[in-house]
Amino acid sequence: MTPQHPQHLDDVLSLIKDAMADGAALAIVGHGSKSDWGYPVAEARPVVLDRLSGVIDYQPEELILTVRAGTAMTEINKALAKQNQMLGFEPPDLGELYGANNPSSNKGSIGGVLATNLSGSRRLTAGAARDFLLGFEAASGRGERFRSGGKVVKNVTGYDLSKLICGSFGTLAIMDEITLKTLPKPEATKSLIFPADDLAAAGKHIAAILATPHEPSAAAILPADMAAKAGYDMAKMLVVIRLEGFAISVNARADALLALYAGGDEIDDKASQSLWQLITNTVLLADSQGDIWKVSCPATAAPAIIQGLKDILPKDLPLRYYADWAGGLLWLDLPSQVTPADVAYGARLRQILADHGGGFAQLIRDSNITRQYLPAFQPLADAQFGLHKRIKAAFDPMRVLNPGRMHHDI
């Protein structure tokens, strides 16, 4: 089927109305770099949103950027860089993870970033993509044009649909005009590294630092093998703390933390930036031969979850992983499930998560094998599933938009 490239929201509305009339479905992509996330939308008319593109309005003094959803991330980053500003939620550059030679690998669109709620290491303190979406205009699966939010931080009457649309993977509505909150880039960045005996000690160390008034913007934990990959030879664990802001403040906070906690060391702006790119962009696991899992869990549960996985892996297969968001985000490298008889490490992972306070395990990269045996997205509890179905029905009763993209039957 020839992909449609709508130029305006009116074109999108007509495509939706035609699909409703024909009882057809639409497969919605921005630039298609995340087509591997979740499930392909079968037997659907492909709609590519790359021509819903361009900066509509940028008021750096108001920290407001209005763009069209198909605008490439490279174009947005260029516009922001000119004004020394950034997207506070630090959308990760997943180029290495998906391999430049992967045909669908490109820089992606802002619509794709928001629809997947893709957020980097500063999510720990600044918030996720959904917290920076001030407003948008979109077309629902009913073929209705609607607006939510606006151009100021608190401009929402009724349900905050901006929060709902982020992470909905194009299953509820197709965004066009988007207004984002921007932030000034920090004048200085510095990172502190501390050794730790194990994951639990590393987590406690970070919790203690987060309880001080020194406001790290990000905190990660690298086991020795990951630290070595980043160029830091550590016996056991490496705690990485990022400080951002005015230079005088960053230096004072760094000095205070290094005085408070022995054994620490600081790395300068340049080294700090490259270390965080390895962490935020999941480059540390890009060479994995197995499956990449993204797990959100209570930070205090991370040690038990990791130990649970180590207990089920063959002794000659050490677990490759690291933690971001102060331990609340685990990036895992697990063996693929190639045949039904193979150990379903993904299912075991979800059981271990359920046994330790719950969480979300998303299959991020698996060369389309493991997902044949288990859901790529964390399965929903019955009540949640029912709510999701009813919300979907409210936005898209005929399941025109990306049916089955996230969960079968939704």
Residues of this chain that interact with ligand FAD (CB under 6 A) are: 28-35, 49, 69, 73, 77, 91, 93-95, 98, 105-109, 111-113, 115-116, 118, 169-170, 174-175, 402, 405
Q: Shortest gap between Cβ of 264 and ligand FAD (angstroms)?
A: 30
In whole angstroms, how close is the CB of 107 to ligand FAD at the nearest point?
A: 4
Residue whose CB is less far from ligand FAD, 92 or 264: 92
- Kindly tell me which of 28 and 250 has the beta carbon lying closer to ligand FAD: 28
Q: Between residues 30 and 328, which has the closer beta carbon with respect to ligand FAD?
A: 30
**From the CB of 178, what's the least distance to ligand FAD, in Å?**
8
- Are the C-beta atoms of residues 38 and 406 closer than 8 Å to each other? yes
Q: What is d(CA 8, CA 23) in angstroms, rounded to the nearest whole number? A: 23
Q: For residue 184, how many other CB atoms are within 10 A of its CB? A: 12
Comparing CB distances to ligand FAD, the nearer of 13 and 238 is: 13
With contact defined as beta carbons under 8 Å apart, do 172 and 401 qualify? yes
Min separation Cβ 408 and ligand FAD, Å: 15
Question: Between residues 181 and 253, which has the closer beta carbon with respect to ligand FAD?
Answer: 181
- Smallest distance, ligand FAD to C-beta of residue 243, A: 22
- β-pair type (45-48, 26-29): parallel
The string of DSSP codes covering 143-179 is: S-EEEEE-SSSS---SS-HHHHHTTSTTSSEEEEEEE
If the CB atoms of residues 112 and 203 are measured against ligand FAD, the closer one turns out to be 112
Inter-CA distances, 189 with 164, 251, 287, 308, Å:
33, 9, 28, 36
Please give the residue whose beta carbon sits closest to ligand FAD in the complex: 112
8 Å CB contact between 305 and 320? no
Closest CA to 381 of 353, 402, 405, 403: 353
Calpha distance 100→82 (Å, rounded): 26
Min dist. Cβ of residue 406 to ligand FAD (A): 8
